[in-house]
Amino acid sequence: MNKIKLLTTIGICGFILAACGTEETSVNDSNTAEVAKSESIAVEEPGLDELDQSTTDELAKIGSEDEEIDWEKINLNKRQFKEYIESLDEQEATSEETLTIVSSSMPDDTTIEIIINNPDTSEMRELTNGFFTIMMDSFSRQLYLSSDYSDGSTQPTILIKDDTGNIISEETDFIEMEETE
């Protein structure tokens, strides 16, 4: 589980930030128990630490420019998906200048909320936030659609805020890049 979480966080943040943390962390037992208490999650569902090897292999590809993820091989149960989302904020930054995820949660079965801290005060702050938002939205949405939360047609709302409460993005479908000529 730590390997998947670490590779995922590094892959997503590494695209935007050159110095992502590599320190491993683990989901503590109380966090896992809290996730399992959700009404929509069966307590007997296996957690992230019980992923099969093919899913682990596909998730390890996150952030790799050379390998494409086969989303057909990924199917997380509700508990695994929620544990994954709630573990995104466990990656420790390697410097005070690194964009970090302050908190990540699922307030309900169709909403993912991510709060970030970007200490950059330059004109690049909005650009960095934008790229981070696109990456997090795309990956989180695709992972949601590959989980038992998905009914095959409903998209989750992915809400990304900064640590002062300002909404950076609130999307109900994949973010599409506008072409400029």
pLDDT tens for 50-91 read 999 999 899 888 777 888 999 999 999 999 999 999 998 887
pLDDT tens for 135-174 read 999 999 999 999 999 998 899 999 999 999 999 999 999 9
**Residue-level pLDDT at 93:** 66
Task: Give mean pLDDT, residues 26-52.
Answer: 65
φ and ψ of 28, to 5 deg: -80, 165
* pLDDT confidence band for 101 (50 / 70 / 90): very high
Which two structure tokens, joined as six digits, stand for 47?
Answer: 């957690």
Q: E strands, the chain, where? A: 100-108, 111-117, 157-162, 167-171
Task: Kindly tell me if the per-residue pLDDT of 1 is higher than 50.
Answer: no
Task: Give mean pLDDT, residues 98-112.
Answer: 95
The answer to whether residues 36 and 83 touch, using CB atoms and an 8 Å cutoff, is no
